[in-house]
Amino acid sequence: MARTVGQFLGDALGGASVVVKNEPGAGGQIGFTDVATAKPDGYTLGTFNLPAALALTYDRPAAYTADSFTYLANFVEDPNTVVVSKSSPYDTLAALMADAKANPEAVTMGLASLGGNDHFAALMMGQASGAFTLVPFKGAALARTALIGGHVAAGTMTLSQTVGFEDQLKVLAVLAKDRSSFAPNVPTAKELGYDIEMSSLRGIVAPAGLDPAVSAKLLAALAAVNANAEFQKKMAEQGNPMNYIAGDAFATVAKAQSEVAKGIWETTPWK
Amino acid sequence: MYLDLLHALPHVLSLTNFLAVTIGVVAGIVVGALPGLSATMAISVLVPFTFGLEPLVALGLMAGIYNGAMYGGAIPAVLLRIPGTPAAVATTFDGYPMAQKGEGGFALQVAVVSSSIGGIASAFALMLLAPPLSKLTLLFGPAEVFWIAVFAMCSIIFMLGGNVVKGLISACFGVFVSVVGSDPIFGNDRYTFGYLELLDGINIVILLVGLYALPPVLDLLESPLKTDTANENLGTEPIWRTLPRMMRFWKTWLRGSLIGIWIGILPGAGGSMAAFMSYNEARRASKTPESWGHGEPEGVAAAEVANNADTASALIPALTLGIPGTSVAAVMLGGLLIHGLQPGPMLFRENPDIVFGFMWQFLFGAILLLFLGGSLATNSFAKLLKLPRPLLGSVIIVLMVIGVYSIHGRMFDVYLMLGFGAVGYVMDKLKFPLPPVVLGLILGAFAEENLRLSLRIGRGDWGILFANHTSQVLVALTIAVVFGPSLKRRYWDNRKSGAQG
């Protein structure tokens, strides 16, 4: 996402050059820390993914908190889903949840790593029925392979991670407010009687303490990027479900996500 | 599934991808020809540089180098009796005597034709065997993958030959390195000492470059090579005149190819073992075993066909299960991973153009070898072997440092690489085998993660590890590998003493 936004942001800022620097490592913590501690002059921006970026501030020492950033704009919101293998006996969310309720911890649920949206989604599902036995794989691809091979009974992953596997997977529900345009036939959990929403958000942030004039300029440029039809087309090609949330509204979402993570960490710490 | 194979063909034939294979083959021949520089090392130096490239271009370079180097090693083996790569040791047996008789040119031609045939056979094995095997891998859940890791680790320690205790120590070192970083389930920090750089664990490429590239370079600098070629005249004849004389090797080629493919698939064994086995079998089958070792061209054919036949086949377990058959395959696995290509059945489904393209590149690399290798086997090329060693060594060290720095753009990794280099140098001198370290790092992490996942699935019940047939077969294989060699020795000793008494 960073590269696609960067590509269009330069033009939106009137021909400025945007350099995208990869800073991989420690689940993004190295990059997040660099952005949080950079000079708030508007020349250093960073990508940000929720809830993981803020969830990790609870489970390990981090040099930033939710207040270390100026929240500019969120672009992508990829909702979590509940999936089972095509050959699974569970045909509906209700069947899966009923079994989990009758036999707590007997149903295994594959997911990609603890402390992220997959984990929180699985815990919320467990609270709504009976607890699942969580099996955190190293990445969604491995979780999906194990699910297809029948080594775990169910799984949760984001909607975009199920695309292309329609022949092997049954998506039982999507954990979002509304049905997704990527899978209009899949019901939301809410329709099925479970009020659970969880997703992975990806947006752009700057260090805290940004001059309001600078942040207004950046916000205008990011809004222009979002309005660009070519940008939207590119993001759709890459399989990104979009949800543009700008400025204060994004900050509110981030704070709320941070509180969700905090609440989960306090009641069911994962390490 | 074979349809995907055809779909991938146009991608491979694009100019850049084809160029990559060609450059790779030439570079491989040069690297292989220079004693001390192996394919493993060349590829591990190259891997960090391929970040910015398209995956197929990067893989094409690697496939080319692998094929080229396996033949390149034969050049100094024939001309100087110095195997350019470990796999070319068996080539010296008959290649060098041929050069002394003034048949060096013919020896190199036999080597290049045999290498090419071995490579082609191996590429076909990869194309035909990997797709069905990849379907089978859905059977492998965490418990089964755990046993695969244990089996692979045991087989490399016990079948590598040499000292089992030293092999075990090497493997343990590798497993220890795999422990560094956050743990695979809960993300607790282990041995990171507060460095965020260590949180993701130690990148396999850093270990590989340090371990495999630094010690040989230091070796190179330590011992200035004396290049007193016995016979400067190669006596090269045009290849169309020599080719008919090689046709009588067809049985050796067939046998050597099969041996090479089989050895390649087995984890732990490598090109040198394939070459030795093929050479021995060919001599046993020969009508004139007494001429072997005194310049028998069939000996060169046997060794060279086998050490190229294990190239592509070593990638069969690597691509389908993530278990590298040889150390070169281990490095290539690292190359795949940095391009975000996770080995396993999903690789075939998600990136068919890349996986199948990679297979085609192996085939083209082997065919190109015939032409490029043939034209390089000349007097002028032999002079390259006389490059000043210090120059060569320092260029490679600079490349290594740049390469490792470019992985994450930080000096931390460079220091780490130099540290591993020092460890590797000491281990090399004390004759500790290096492949178990690499496999320990890859498989140790693999084993831990999958053991803990399967115990979570089984909710703490260890019985889950033996719950199905796939697991039970793997346990049996592991036991056979661990106890097989010592039982066989005892049985043989008994029979021998029985015969005496």
In tens, the pLDDT along B226-276 reads 554 444 556 666 666 777 778 888 888 999 999 888 878 766 556 677 888
Half-sphere exposure (Cβ direction) of A163: Cα atoms closer than 13 Å: 18
Q: Are residues A113 and A137 in the same domain?
A: yes
| CB of B186 less than 8 A from some CB of A | yes
- Percentage of chain A surpassing pLDDT 90? 5
Q: Are residues A20 and A51 in the same domain?
A: yes
> Pick from A176, A177, A136, A138: which is nearest to A160 by CA?
A176
Does A219 share its domain with A263? yes
Strand partners, A53: none
Could you tell me the two tokens for A254? Answer: 């981030």
Which pLDDT value is given to residue B426?
A: 92
Domain for residue A186, yes or no? no
Interface test with chain A among B134, B136, B138, by most A beta carbons within 10 Å: B138
Distance (Å) of CA B359 to CA A68, B56, B315, B352, B432: 49, 11, 9, 11, 33
A119 touches B: beta carbon within 8 Å? no
Q: Do A24 and B408 touch (CB under 8 A)?
A: yes
Q: Work out the burial of residue B129: count CB atoms within 10 Å of its CB; fewer than 13 is exposed, 13-18 middle, 19 or more buried.
A: middle
Contacts of B141 in chain A (CB under 8 A): 146, 149-151
- Which pLDDT score is estimated for A156? 92
Alpha-carbon span B447 to B451, nearest angstrom: 6
What digits encode the pLDDT tens for the residues A167-181? 788 999 999 888 888
SS3 labels along B412-429: HHHHHHHHHHHHHHHHHH
> What per-residue confidence (pLDDT) applies to B228?
47
DSSP A149: T
Query: Rg of chain B's alpha carbons, rounded to an integer?
Result: 23
State pLDDT tens for residues B55-75: 888 889 999 998 888 888 888
Asked if B71 contacts B257 with a C-beta cutoff of 8 angstroms, the reply is no
User: Which site among A111, A151, A165, A167 would you substitute to test the B interface, given the most B Cβ atoms closer than 10 Å to its Cβ?
Assistant: A151
Position B418 scores a pLDDT of: 93
CA atoms within 13 A on the CB side of B178: 21
> How far, rounded to the nearest angstrom, does the alpha carbon of residue B203 sit from its chain's CA centroid?
19
CA distance B401 to B399: 6
Residue A194 lies in a domain: no
Q: Both A73 and A84 in a single domain?
A: no
Does A270 contact chain B (CB < 8 Å)?
yes
* Whole-number Cα distances in Å, B224 to A105, B17, B344, B430: 67, 38, 44, 21
Touching check for A104 and chain B: CB below 8 Å? no
Which CATH number fits the domain that encloses residue A109?
A: 3.40.190.10
Same domain, A170 and A203: no
Could you tell me the CATH number of the domain that includes residue A34?
3.40.190.150
- DSSP strand pairing (B189-190 vs B181-182): antiparallel
Helix (H) or strand (E) holding A156: strand A154-158
Burial status of residue B159 (CB atoms within 10 A of its CB: 0-12, 13-18, 19 or more): middle
For residue A30, tell me if it sits in a domain.
yes
Assess whether A163 and A86 both reside in one domain.
yes
For residues A238 and A254, membership in a common domain is answered with: yes
* C-alpha span between A161 and A169 (Å, rounded): 11
Residues A123 and A255 placed together within one structural domain of the fold: no
Exposed/middle/buried for residue A30 (C-beta within 10 Å: 0-12, 13-18, 19+): middle
Whether B346 and A144 lie within 8 Å, measured CB to CB: yes
Tell me, yes or no, whether A206 lies in a domain.
Answer: yes
Question: What's residue A109's pLDDT?
Answer: 92
Is cis: bond before A51, omega within 30 of 0? Answer: yes
Interacting residues of A26 by C-beta distance below 8 A, sequence separation 6+? B182, B196, B199, B200
Q: What is the pLDDT of residue B105?
A: 81
Using CA atoms of A131, A136, A139, A145 in order, give the dihedral in degrees to the nearest 10: -80
Q: What is the pLDDT of residues A200-255, one digit of tens each?
A: 988 888 888 888 888 888 888 888 888 888 888 888 877 788 889 888 888 888 88
Q: Collect all residues of chain B within an 8 Å Cβ-Cβ radius of residue A115.
A: 187
The answer as to whether A225 is a domain residue is: yes
The residue among A140, A174, A208 that closes a domain is A174
Task: Kindly compute the dihedral angle of the four CA atoms of residues A28, A33, A34, A35, in this order, to the nearest 10 degrees.
Answer: 90
Cα(B27)–Cα(B46) distance, rounded to whole angstroms?
11
What average pLDDT is seen over chain B? 80
Q: Where among A141, A174, A207 does a domain terminate?
A: A174
pLDDT tens string B38-50: 777 788 778 777 7
Complex prediction ipTM: 0.75
Q: What sign for the dihedral angle of Cα B236, B239, B241, B242?
A: positive
Subunit contact B453:A135, Cβ cutoff 8 A: yes
Q: Which one of B206, B408, B457, B465 makes the best mutation probe of the A interface by having the most chain A beta carbons within 10 Å? A: B457
Distance CA B390, CA B397 (A): 11
Final residue of a domain: which of A174, A207, A230? A174
Per-residue pLDDT at B345: 62
User: Which residues of chain A does B140 touch, with a Cβ-Cβ cutoff of 8 Å?
Assistant: 149
Task: Please tell me whether residues A245 and A111 are part of one structural domain.
Answer: no
Which residues, given as ranges, of chain B have pLDDT below 70? 1, 35-37, 82, 84, 137, 156, 159-162, 223-240, 266-271, 322-325, 344-346, 376-387, 407, 495-501
Same structural domain for residues A65 and A35?
Answer: yes
Interface check A109 vs B, CB under 8 A: no
DSSP B14-69: SHHHHHHHHHHHHHHHHHHHSTT--HHHHHHHHGGGGTTS-HHHHHHHHHHHHHHH
For residues A96 and A15, membership in a common domain is answered with no
Query: How much is the pLDDT for A45?
Result: 85
Structural domain that includes position A236: 2-77+199-267
Considering the domain boundaries, does residue A192 fall inside one?
Answer: no
The per-residue pLDDT of chain A, averaged, comes to: 84
Identify the CA nearest to B8 among candidates B347, B305, B406, B315: B347
* Short-list B427, B416, B419, B422, CA closest to B170: B427
How far off is chain B from A140, nearest CA to CA, in Å? 11
Task: Print burial letters for A196-207: b (CB count within 10 Å at least 16), e (below 16).
Answer: bbbbbbbbbbbb
Give the pLDDT confidence score for residue B501 in this predicted structure. 43
On whether the CB atoms of residues B60 and B108 are closer than 8 A, the answer is no
Count how many domains chain A has. 2
> 């180097």: which residue's tokens?
B69
Q: CA A82 to CA A157: how far, in whole Å?
A: 7
pLDDT of residue A22: 67
DSSP B205-234: HHHHIIIIIHHHHHHHHHSPPP---S-S--
- The DSSP string of B340-392 is T---SHHHHHH-HHHHHHHHHHHHHHHHHHHHHHHHH-SHHHHGGGGS-HHHH
Q: Is the pLDDT of residue A270 over 80?
A: no
Same domain, A82 and A169: yes
Residue B240's pLDDT is 67
Residue A256 lies inside a defined structural domain of this protein:
yes
Give A20→chain B minimum CA distance, Å. Answer: 14
A139: chain B residues, CB-CB within 8 Å: 342
CB B69 within 8 A of CB B39: yes
Query: How much of chain B, in percent, has pLDDT values that exceed 70?
Result: 85
CA distances from B127 to A255, B3, B39, B358 (A): 52, 11, 22, 10
Using the Cβ of B197 and the Cβ atoms of chain A, whether some distance falls under 8 Å is answered with yes
Provide, as residue numbers in chain A, all residues whose Cβ is less than 8 Å from the Cβ of B347: none
What burial letters (b/e) apply to A113-146, b meaning 16+ CB within 10 Å? bbbbbbbbbbbbbbeebbbbbbbbbbebbbbbbb
Q: How far apart are CA B67 and CA B20, in angstroms?
A: 13
Contact list, B185 vs chain A (CB under 8 Å): 114, 136
Check CB contact under 8 Å for A60 and B189: yes
Whether A47 maps to a domain, the answer reads yes
